[in-house]
């Protein structure tokens, strides 16, 4: 276990010693966080931008003011999980970009990171609205009932997403630290 953690730490240092990857990870995290915060307000934002009721300064004000819904629309557990998901997505994408640039193949770890992000999005929402992503597929009533039936009111999806993103990040970090050649088999 200690060897795995050293390998991950080595890879994180190797990637994030370059300022462009730090900036890239922070940018991806900010975009993911903004999208997560805009999801519950999607209909309102779409209306503001599609109608002629609002001028461009008002549209931009609406867009940036809805970022403030983090404190009001999300329960405490989601307020902890969402920044973790955004940060892990930023780290994951930066590591993956570094690895792709270095090797030009990643053996499927990109799919696991995307899967972790999607799973964590199922838990985003509140007790009144239910999960934003689930309500898209199941309808508001069914999604609210499903999330209410879960012991932690849907936080399970966010925690599962964090775990999957951690596994994906660890796998990418191990591929960065691993040698870029295959082991030779000795015939006896």
- Dihedral, CA atoms, 144, 73, 119, 91, nearest 10 degrees? 180
Higher-scoring residue by pLDDT: 46, 113: 46
Mapped onto helix, strand or coil, the DSSP state of residue 185 is coil
Asked whether the predicted pLDDT for residue 139 surpasses 50, the reply is no
- Dihedral, CA atoms, 24, 107, 122, 124, nearest 10 degrees? -20
Mapped onto helix, strand or coil, the DSSP state of residue 126 is strand
Question: What pLDDT does 54 receive?
Answer: 92
Biggest CA–CA distance in the chain, Å, is 79
Mean pLDDT score across all residues of the chain: 74
Contacts of 130 (CB under 8 A, 6+ apart): 140, 143, 144, 145, 146, 147, 148, 154
Residue 178 token pair: 């691993």
Distance CA(120)–CA(154), nearest Å, equals 10
Distances (CA, A) of 58 to 42, 47, 69: 16, 12, 17
Higher-scoring residue by pLDDT: 163, 122: 163
Strands 125-126 and 130-131 come out as antiparallel
* Residues 45-62, mean pLDDT to the nearest whole number: 91
Q: What residues are paired with 42 via a beta bridge?
A: none
- At 3-24, the pLDDT tens digits run 778 888 888 898 899 999 999 9
182 pLDDT band (50/70/90 cuts)? low
Q: Which of 9-13, 116-120, 138-142 has the lowest mean pLDDT?
A: 138-142
Q: Which of 15-24, 68-77, 121-130 has the lowest mean pLDDT?
A: 121-130
114 pLDDT band (50/70/90 cuts)? low
Higher-scoring residue by pLDDT: 33, 184: 33
Higher-scoring residue by pLDDT: 148, 39: 39
Asked whether the predicted pLDDT for residue 107 surpasses 60, the reply is no
What single DSSP character describes residue 131? E
């Amino acid at each position: 276990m200690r060897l795995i953690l050293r390998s991950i730490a080595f890879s994180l240092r190797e990637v994030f010693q370059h300022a462009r990857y730090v900036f890239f990870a922070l940018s991806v995290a900010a975009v993911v966080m903004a999208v997560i915060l805009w999801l519950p307000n999607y209909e309102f934002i779409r209306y503001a931008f599609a109608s002629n009721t609002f001028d461009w300064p008002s549209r931009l004000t609406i867009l940036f003011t809805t970022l403030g819904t983090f404190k009001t629309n999300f329960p405490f557990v989601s307020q902890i999980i969402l920044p973790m998901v955004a940060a892990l997505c930023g780290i994951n994408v930066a590591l993956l970009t570094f690895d792709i640039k270095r090797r030009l193949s990643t053996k499927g770890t990109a799919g696991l990171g995307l899967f972790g992000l999607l799973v964590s999005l199922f838990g985003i929402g509140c007790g009144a609205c239910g999960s934003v992503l689930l309500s898209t597929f199941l309808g508001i009533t069914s999604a609210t009932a499903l999330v209410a039936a879960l012991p932690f009111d849907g936080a399970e999806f966010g925690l599962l997403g964090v775990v999957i993103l951690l596994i994906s990040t660890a796998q990418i970090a191990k591929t960065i630290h691993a040698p870029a050649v295959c082991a030779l088999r000795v015939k006896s």
